[in-house]
Amino acid sequence: VHPRTRERILAIADRLGYRPNALARGLIVQRSSMIGLIMAGWTNPSYLFMLRRFTERLQQEGYQVMLLTSSSEEDTDTALQQLLQYQVEGVFIVSTQPSLPVARASIRAGTPVVLINRNWPSAELSTINCDNYDVGRQMAHTLVTAGYRRLALLQGDPALPPNVQRCEAIREVVAGTSGFRIVTDLARCLGYDAGRQIMQALWAADERADCVICSSDTTALGVLDGARFDLKLGVPDVFGIVGVGDSAQATWSAYQLTSVRFPVDEMIELAIDELLSRLNDPSQPPRSMTARATVVNRNTTRGPGQGSAHIPDKRWVTR
């Protein structure tokens, strides 16, 4: 094409307000350039960063992101079906999962699905996950080796697989450790205020706990403030606390909370890489990856660690 003509036509097109219709193009080339993203678990603060990275990278790779919310598995099913109708080329599902028949539908449609923070029984979907049993084991061991004896277990949502897996592993460790036992076991303890109040109850109980495992950092920080401010307890000397998530606040010098760190950044990049590579080569089989979380010992548990801000070793197990 002559540059002259090209220029002229482009100018006219612009003046006429012409925009190529990406939908019509998608129809004919059989590529929508759209990727679906189904999100649950919005209370996890690191998901803001996740959303950002997803959109940034996919945009960069020439895709558009279609974002859907789910608050139940039925939601996830309808969301996934919607996305398939919109001809997305792939979909990420975060902290939730579709039913088997709907998942099968996506497989038949040839649309790769990547599950994040959820397991999948068969090898039909890519998954990227933490070993939550291991997380539970590590948390319990941290407390045991620090010499605590009477554990309070402050669970989150008992319907969430990661929560039950963690707790199961904790109970296993407890069962296998003489002299260490669970004196309180509460579900649905979430948030700063809940933590702070529950600390009072723990101390008023017949059998006082001397350490606690919380289902989130926010809860743990509430417990910590309850222990230090309200009860004037020596933390970590008389009372030990461990949280989950290694949030920014956990690292603040006012808190220095011992917490479980997930390699969030790596998980995100890996999830994107996995989907992109399956998009480039549809014959590639779905992979299941397990990330290793580590507890970072700070100042709410006795023991060796003193505000160690070390980067955990990233060990990936691929099946």
Q: Give the whole-angstrom CA distance, residue 209 versus residue 169.
A: 19
Residue 2 makes contact with DNA by CB under 7 A:
yes
Residue 249 touches which member of a copy of itself, DNA, none, C-beta under 5-8 Å by kind? a copy of itself
Strands 90-94 and 34-39: parallel
Structure tokens, 207: 């059998």
> Residue 40: what are its φ and ψ, rounded to 5°?
-130, 180
Collect all residues with Cβ–Cβ distance below 8 Å to 268 and sequence separation of at least 6: 49, 50, 53, 54
Residue 245 touches which member of DNA, a copy of itself, none, C-beta under 5-8 Å by kind? none
Residues of span 72-91 touching a copy of itself by CB under 8 A: 79, 81-82, 84-87
Residues of span 27-66 touching DNA by CB under 7 A: 27-30
Residue 51 touches which member of a copy of itself, DNA, none, C-beta under 5-8 Å by kind? a copy of itself
Count, residues near DNA per rule CB under 7 A: 13
- Cross-strand partners of 260: 244, 295
Structure tokens, 101: 């028949």
Q: Give the whole-angstrom CA distance, residue 124 versus residue 107.
A: 8
Residue with Cβ nearer DNA (2 or 232) = 2
Residue 203 makes contact with a copy of itself by CB under 8 A:
no
Count, residues near a copy of itself per rule CB under 8 A: 51
- List Cα–Cα distances, 97 to 101, 150, 263, in angstroms: 12, 36, 21
Which burial class, exposed, middle or buried, applies to 212 when counting CB atoms under 10 A from its CB (0-12, 13-18, 19+)? buried
Residue 15 makes contact with DNA by CB under 7 A:
no
Residue 280 makes contact with a copy of itself by CB under 8 A:
no
Q: Give the whole-angstrom CA distance, residue 151 versus residue 132.
A: 19
H/E element, 10: helix 3-15
Residue 233 touches which member of DNA, a copy of itself, none, C-beta under 5-8 Å by kind? none
Q: Which stretch binds DNA (CB under 7 A): 23-31, 42-50, 65-73, 276-284?
A: 23-31
Q: Which stretch binds DNA (CB under 7 A): 18-26, 32-40, 105-113, 278-286?
A: 18-26
Q: How far is the CB of 26 from a copy of itself (least distance, A)?
A: 6
Residue 5 makes contact with DNA by CB under 7 A:
yes
Residue 16 makes contact with DNA by CB under 7 A:
no
Q: Which stretch binds a copy of itself (CB under 8 A): 3-11, 30-38, 165-173, 277-285?
A: 30-38
Instruction: Answer for the pair 133, 168: CB distance below 8 angstroms, yes or no.
Output: yes
Which burial class, exposed, middle or buried, applies to 228 when counting CB atoms under 10 A from its CB (0-12, 13-18, 19+)? middle
Q: Give the whole-angstrom CA distance, residue 125 versus residue 287.
A: 7
Choice from 2, 4, 108, 232 touching a copy of itself (CB under 8 A): 108
What is the contact surface with a copy of itself in residues (CB under 8 A)?
Answer: 17, 19-24, 26-27, 32, 34, 37, 39, 42, 45, 47-49, 51-52, 55-56, 59, 64-69, 79, 81-82, 84-87, 105, 108-109, 192, 196, 218, 221-222, 225, 229, 248-249, 252-254
What is the contact surface with DNA in residues (CB under 7 A)?
Answer: 1-2, 5, 18-21, 24-25, 27-30
